[in-house]
């Protein structure tokens, strides 16, 4: 995790698929803990796991992850963090839903996801002739930036993805399918969906675009533009710094 500096705020994005039998039980206490420790953002919980982006001081976020560890008896290992001058959220929201990312198919488990490709290996992997890349994000996100050569479904929301894939499946015959998304959670579900409909070789970027930019920064060879994020920053660039890109914002 990042080292704390005076007055700075850390934005922390994380998720995990697991059998979450406590999600309704701890909703209120989790929100109360965040309020008491000046932690803001969005936490989504469902029976299939947890998906969140929150912000706070280094000290308070460390308290939060210790609290989560005591509640669920495990630690989040795929945390993506960046520094910012102030909270990018107005308040804390703790929501319970049928899915932690809405594909519209709660029966599809992110635990059955495709094969992870590490950020350091990603540029070479998606440049192969036998690989085709699908950007699973929505059009208002991809318009700000993506990977060179990525297929853009131009969906309005993630729920549209299964129909789009079935309508376009013939385009991907004989290819290994790679997928990317912001933080990785949508790809866990989308690759699991592809496996459920018989796609044999499906891969996705470990930790998503945020992890790729965090690990590679300016050394990223196949990324262009900025990465849309779901808070007041609107987007981050290759150096993981906020950009106030106003080309599109819902």
The tokens for 67 are: 């609290």
The catalytic position among 180, 181, 187, 227 is 181
CA 124/CA 219 separation, integer angstroms: 13
Most distant CA atoms of the chain, gap in Å = 54
Q: What are phi and psi of 205, to 5 degrees?
A: -70, 120
State yes or no: is 181 an active-site residue.
yes
Tell me the catalytic residues. 181
């Amino acid at each position: 995790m990042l080292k704390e500096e005076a007055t700075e705020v850390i934005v922390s994005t994380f998720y995990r698929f697991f059998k979450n039998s406590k999600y309704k039980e701890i909703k209120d206490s989790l929100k109360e803990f965040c309020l008491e420790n000046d932690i803001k953002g969005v936490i989504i919980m469902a029976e299939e796991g947890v998906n969140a982006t929150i912000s706070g001081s280094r000290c308070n976020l460390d308290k939060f992850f210790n609290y989560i560890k005591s509640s669920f008896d495990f630690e989040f290992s795929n945390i993506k963090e960046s520094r910012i001058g102030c909270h990018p959220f107005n308040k804390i929201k703790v929501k319970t839903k049928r899915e932690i990312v809405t594909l519209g198919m709660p029966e599809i488990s992110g635990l059955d996801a495709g094969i992870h490709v590490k950020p350091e290996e990603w540029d070479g992997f998606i440049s192969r002739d036998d690989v085709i890349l699908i950007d699973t994000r929505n059009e208002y996100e991809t318009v700000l930036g993506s990977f060179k050569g990525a297929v853009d479904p131009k969906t309005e929301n993630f729920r549209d993805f299964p129909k789009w894939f079935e309508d376009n499946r013939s385009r991907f015959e004989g290819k290994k399918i790679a997928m990317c998304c912001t933080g990785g959670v949508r790809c866990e579900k989308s690759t699991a969906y592809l496996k459920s409909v018989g796609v044999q070789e499906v891969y996705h970027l470990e930790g998503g675009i945020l992890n790729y930019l965090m690990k590679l920064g300016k050394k990223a060879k196949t990324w262009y533009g900025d990465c849309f994020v779901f808070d007041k920053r609107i987007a981050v660039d290759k150096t993981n710094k906020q950009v106030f890109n106003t080309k599109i914002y819902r």
